[in-house]
Each structure stands twice: as structure tokens, then as C-alpha cells.
Amino acid sequence: MQKKKVVVTGFGPFRGFEDENPSSVVIDELKKTGIDDVDLELHKITVAYEDVSKKVPELWNEHKPDLVIHLGVHPVSKTIKFEQQAFSDGYCSNDVNGCTPEGNRTTCSSQEEVLKSCIDCDQLVINVTERCGLDGEKKYGGLIVKKSEDPGRYLCGYSYFLSLHEDCSKSLFIHVPAFEGECTKEAVAEVIRETIKSILGYC
């Protein structure tokens, strides 16, 4: 069986996570373990609009992936969020270089204000919860997965909109929490691994 090509990105340090970004730590964990029958392309992107505007289309063009997963960190503890959609404008917050995109909009040619992933996040929550045995209490310190429809108006939502513009059937953004207690980097990486396998239809 030909391996599926999956691109996974994480972000570098930024405000509140100056030492390390949990999304980059998950990238490191995936690099250690890999995923059976998956050709993983793992990348870390600077929290900068210019870098993201260049890097995201490059990843699509260079790798012709079967799936692109962007990872970012959010402040909700012990919760992994599958983001269903992203927005074209409202990107007013400065990146790590003190910059915002021109017109506070994404750089792609899409005329849409909102782009949605064709991946069913409601069903994905059900599938991943079952695959990982997440009970919201004991497993991984109470770690849960849930659907979200607001990835924010920063580099997370910005990168996601660019990928949805490339192919909404092969794109997903996932927000991961900071690590605490039994909600370890290994636990979060395992849930991300099972999420990828679920989307690809692997057992």
C-alpha cells in the first residue's frame, strides 16, 4: 500500500509561550514515533504573517499532500479543539515581528469571508474520543476533544484559511493545550496521531 503523504505544522514561540510552543513540541513527538503507513512531513513555522503566507502554499505545491494538519496552542486546559472553519479578515494583532497583513486580510485570492473544512469535526470528535478512550476524567488527566468554529484572528486562523483555500477537503486546524499533569506531550501527540489515522480511514 502506498503511504499517504501528510503535512503537519506547528508554530514557534510567541507571547505567552516564549520558551516553547506546545504545538512545536507535538511536532517533535511525532518525529520520534511517526505513524504507520503515513509519510509525515513535519514543519515548524515562525509566528509571522509573511512567513506563513509564503510557507503554506509552498508546502501544498511541493508535497502534493493527502492531508494537511496545522497545530497551534490555545489557553483552554486539557482540551484539543478541531477547528471547522477560518476567516479571511480581521487579522489586526501584531505577529512576532510587530507586523500585520495588508488590509488585515489573508493574502490568497479567495473572495469568501469564511471557508469551512469538508472534514466533519463533529464525527471526528466521536471517532477520536472512542479511539483514544477519552473519558474526560482519568484518561490523560481528563483530556478531551471538541469541535470549534472560531480558530481566532491570529496566525492560527490565518494559516488555516490559506490551507482551506488550497483544498478544503484535505485541511484541518487543531488547537492543543499546554501540558499539565497527565495531559503530557506524549498524550497530546497520541491523540493527534489517532486523529490523523481517523481522517485517513486507518484502523
Per the residue annotation, which of 74, 108, 175, 183 is the catalytic one? 175
For residue 195, the enclosing domain spans 4-200
Residue 42 main-chain phi, psi, to 5 deg: -110, 130
Per the residue annotation, which of 108, 156, 183, 190 is the catalytic one? 156
Rounded to 5°, the CA angle 36-32-39 comes to 40
92-115 pLDDT tens trace? 999 999 999 999 999 888 889 999
Look up 186 and say whether it is catalytic: no
Total domain count, the chain? 1
Q: What Rg value do the Cα atoms of the chain yield, rounded?
A: 16
Decide if 69 contacts 174 (C-beta within 8 A).
yes
The CATH number of the domain holding residue 124 is 3.40.630.20
Kindly report the number of other CB atoms within 10 A of residue 155's CB atom: 25
Residue-by-residue DSSP string for 45-114? E-S-HHHHHHHHHHHHHHH--SEEEEEEE-SSTTEEEEE-EEESB---S--TTS---GGGB-SS----SE
Look up 156 and say whether it is catalytic: yes
Residue 184 confidence (pLDDT): 98
125-156 pLDDT tens trace? 999 999 999 999 999 999 999 999 999 999 99
CA separation for the pair 79, 146 (Å, rounded): 7
Per the residue annotation, which of 29, 70, 74, 83 is the catalytic one? 83
Q: Is it the case that residue 2 has pLDDT exceeding 90? A: no
Look up 203 and say whether it is catalytic: no
